[in-house]
Amino acid sequence: METALAAATRWDADPATRAEVLNKAADLYETHLGPFFALLAREAGKTLMDCQGELREAVDFLRYYASRIPTLDRPARGIFTCISPWNFPLAIFTGQIAGGALAAGNGVLAKPAEQTGLIACEAAKLLHQAGVPREVLQLLPGDGPPTVGGAALTGGDARVNGVAFTGSTETAQIIRRAMAEHMSPDAPPLIAETGGLNAMIVDSTALPEQAVADVLASSFQSAGQRCSALRCLYVQDDIADGFLEMLKGAMAELKQGDPWDISTDLGPVIDQEAFESIAGYAAGREVLVANAAPNGGKFIPPTAISVKGINDLEREVFGPILHVARFKAEDLDRVIDDINWRGYGLTFGLHTRIDDRVQHVADQLQVGNMYVNRNQIGAVVGSQPFGGEGLSGTGPPKAGGPPDYLNRFCVDDRPRAEAPPDSPRMDLTDVTVALAQVTPPPGVVTTQDLPGPTGELNRLTTLPPRQPFLCMGPGNAAQDQAKAVEAAGGGQAVLADRLPAHHLENIHEIGGGVIWWGGDDGTAREIVQALAARPGAILPLVTGTPRADHVLAERHLCVDTTASGGNAELLAANA
């Protein structure tokens, strides 16, 4: 921390130099593919195909964010702690630190997952070699809590100006509470990407051969250790018997073994703890299909488990376990409700030949990334900005795409409102909640088609979220905040004049977060602590002018527009 502070906290190179350094790092990463592949296979159990995808994504992050640097118009926040997971030890590590924090000019304390410290070390070496100063990027390999000094580097020290985190929802909540405990005056942001309970629906018009291949890729590639991976497949009753027979046959063809062998489809799971937890989960359940595991190693064989629906899934099981449910055509909306009800919102897959159905499902589902007639993994930087909502993360903004992920790594515009003279400090014991609804016209705010290969539609839509912001003033500032929410593109605002902080826990309508412009940091801390004590999604305290990325939801739709075949007879019947 002191080294970072001694280096003036931020990376003071001019924007052009920062872009040049990140592009140079991208070149170095590419020429370094041999050592990276060897480390990815040995330390993280990645197959060669996954190694290639991983390096591609890391390089794309570097070049993409370098290209966005000229759009930044505000200074960096200061020191960011970036905590990354083992499942994308190069791509997410690089995306967070180089892509987000360094591109914006922050100093970075990088804490990679304990399982994949060597890969992180190799990446940090190349970033330094490319020209990132050593004191601007410091690598802190090691186990979670001890390495971050209990909570020192996640907000326990007021000199930390922000945290970027990818990992489990539980750890994100622990970090959030630590940040709330010791919050510094500028309300450092927590940018978190967490887990999902991702579903796919295959209806009776789909082409089974194609859907089966996409189920296999979505569930079992990387041994299911992707946050985007398919966890719960819904197959329409009318085709389920034949479909499951085909799935079983296809699963039997998967080759599991040494990831360094080019014919291997999936390798082991990450470590003994993961192995025991996943094996224990599968034991005693109604298994539809289970391949035989190879001898030795921490291999969990690809497994399909029969369930009634997504509500049978107790938690995210981070391995090659697919849950399969059947549904009746007339129950489609109930299935959608069940998926939404679980509160995660990361990826979703749909196989259908009915255009209206694509529209209907896309309108109803609250997920960040929806994929139609293809698999639901492997988001491409610049084409498929990636990130979830609800329990799946604090986005928008999504990583790897417009509008501006980098904004969150910059200081906010900070209007300061004085508390009205009769209440110099917000009275947090008085229960008077003035409710006023500001409801903008519902509907799509913007739609943008992003570049991608021919035959693929990549559409990013921003729209008002269903749930409102709480505007807490102080005093009349609440009116201005509500107007600012509206000006930023929508959402709803609820005005609260005086509100006991502990009541925040009980106001379920606050889905967006809280806006507070008081100069009084004690109150700000109370608000953040109350927000952190709430179960469920992580909600922000906004101490500046709310921007579009604070108040809008962001959804990405990716469609394989070349998909053909399927049951044309049913199509005609449906029309």
Which residues are the active-site residues?
193, 227
Q: Which two tokens stand for residue 280?
A: 């224990």
To the nearest whole angstrom, how small is the minimum distance from the Cβ of residue 84 to ligand ADP? 6
Residue among 209, 241, 204 nearest 328 (CA) = 204
Question: Measured from the CB atom, is 96 or 218 closer to ligand ADP?
Answer: 96
Question: Measured from the CB atom, is 195 or 396 closer to ligand ADP?
Answer: 195
Question: Measured from the CB atom, is 164 or 527 closer to ligand ADP?
Answer: 164
Q: Which stretch binds ligand ADP (CB under 6 A): 82-90, 243-251, 308-316, 384-392?
A: 82-90
Per-residue DSSP letter, 21: H
Bridge partners, 287 (sequence order)? 305
Question: Measured from the CB atom, is 146 or 443 closer to ligand ADP?
Answer: 146
Question: Measured from the CB atom, is 33 or 174 closer to ligand ADP?
Answer: 174
To the nearest whole angstrom, how small is the minimum distance from the Cβ of residue 163 to ligand ADP? 9
**Which residue type, as a one-letter code, is found at position 570?**
L
Residue of the chain from 9, 94, 154, 264 that contacts ligand ADP (CB under 6 A) = 154
Residue of the chain from 15, 141, 144, 440 that contacts ligand ADP (CB under 6 A) = 144
Residues 225 to 264: which contact ligand ADP by CB under 6 A? none
Q: Is 167 in the site for ligand ADP (CB under 6 A)?
A: yes
To the nearest whole angstrom, how small is the minimum distance from the Cβ of residue 399 to ligand ADP? 16
Q: Which stretch binds ligand ADP (CB under 6 A): 109-117, 121-129, 397-405, 531-539?
A: 109-117
Are 79 and 1 in contact by the 8 Å Cβ rule? The answer is: yes
Q: Is 174 in the site for ligand ADP (CB under 6 A)?
A: yes
To the nearest whole angstrom, how small is the minimum distance from the Cβ of residue 222 to ligand ADP? 13
Per-residue DSSP letter, 468: P
Buried/exposed 93-111: b ≥16 CB within 10 Å, e otherwise: bbbbbbbbbbbbbbbbbbb
Largest CA distance in the chain: 74
CB-count exposure of residue 363 (10 Å: 0-12, 13-18, 19+):
exposed
To the nearest whole angstrom, how small is the minimum distance from the Cβ of residue 224 to ligand ADP? 13
Question: Measured from the CB atom, is 175 or 477 closer to ligand ADP?
Answer: 175
Q: Which stretch binds ligand ADP (CB under 6 A): 56-64, 137-145, 288-296, 525-533?
A: 137-145
Q: Is 45 in the site for ligand ADP (CB under 6 A)?
A: no
Q: Is 168 in the site for ligand ADP (CB under 6 A)?
A: yes
Helix, strand, coil tally for the chain in percent (to 5): 40, 20, 45
C-alpha dist (Å) from residue 8 to 77, 79, 136, 148, 164: 12, 10, 9, 21, 20
Q: Is 291 in the site for ligand ADP (CB under 6 A)?
A: no
To the nearest whole angstrom, how small is the minimum distance from the Cβ of residue 88 to ligand ADP? 10
Question: Measured from the CB atom, is 175 or 279 closer to ligand ADP?
Answer: 175
Degrees to nearest 5, angle at CA 534 with 532 and 535: 115
CB-count exposure of residue 41 (10 Å: 0-12, 13-18, 19+):
buried
Q: Which stretch binds ligand ADP (CB under 6 A): 15-23, 62-70, 141-149, 386-394?
A: 141-149
Q: Is 15 in the site for ligand ADP (CB under 6 A)?
A: no
CB-count exposure of residue 562 (10 Å: 0-12, 13-18, 19+):
exposed
d(CA 303, CA 282): 8
Residue of the chain from 97, 132, 148, 438 that contacts ligand ADP (CB under 6 A) = 148
Half-sphere exposure of 243 (CA within 13 A, CB side): 29
Q: Which stretch binds ligand ADP (CB under 6 A): 44-52, 140-148, 236-244, 542-550?
A: 140-148
* Rg (alpha carbons) of the chain, rounded to whole number: 24
Question: Measured from the CB atom, is 115 or 218 closer to ligand ADP?
Answer: 115
d(CA 258, CA 294): 9
Residue 14's contacts (CB-CB under 8 Å, 6 or more residues apart) are none
Binding residues for ligand ADP, total number by CB under 6 A: 16
What angle separates helix 33-44 from helix 48-68, to the nearest 10 degrees?
A: 120
DSSP assignments along 94-106, one per residue? HIIIIIIIITTT-
Q: Is 85 in the site for ligand ADP (CB under 6 A)?
A: yes
Are 507 and 434 in contact by the 8 Å Cβ rule? The answer is: no
Q: Is 402 in the site for ligand ADP (CB under 6 A)?
A: no
To the nearest whole angstrom, how small is the minimum distance from the Cβ of residue 85 to ligand ADP? 4
To the nearest whole angstrom, how small is the minimum distance from the Cβ of residue 165 to ligand ADP? 7
To the nearest whole angstrom, how small is the minimum distance from the Cβ of residue 141 to ligand ADP? 9
Residue of the chain from 12, 27, 114, 331 that contacts ligand ADP (CB under 6 A) = 114
Within 362-500, strands assigned E span: 369-372, 389-390, 437-438, 446-449, 456-463, 469-471, 493-495
d(CA 304, CA 291): 9
Residue of the chain from 35, 70, 133, 145 that contacts ligand ADP (CB under 6 A) = 145
To the nearest whole angstrom, how small is the minimum distance from the Cβ of residue 121 to ligand ADP? 14
Q: Which stretch binds ligand ADP (CB under 6 A): 167-175, 289-297, 405-413, 475-483?
A: 167-175
To the nearest whole angstrom, how small is the minimum distance from the Cβ of residue 291 to ligand ADP? 24
Q: Which stretch binds ligand ADP (CB under 6 A): 25-33, 166-174, 482-490, 536-544?
A: 166-174
Q: Is 111 in the site for ligand ADP (CB under 6 A)?
A: yes
Residue among 23, 10, 19, 1 nearest 126 (CA) = 23
Residue of the chain from 171, 347, 373, 384 that contacts ligand ADP (CB under 6 A) = 171
Within 298-414, strands assigned E span: 303-306, 321-327, 344-345, 347-351, 369-372, 389-390
> Which chain residues interact with ligand ADP by CB under 6 A?
83-85, 111, 113-114, 143-145, 148, 154, 167-168, 171, 174-175
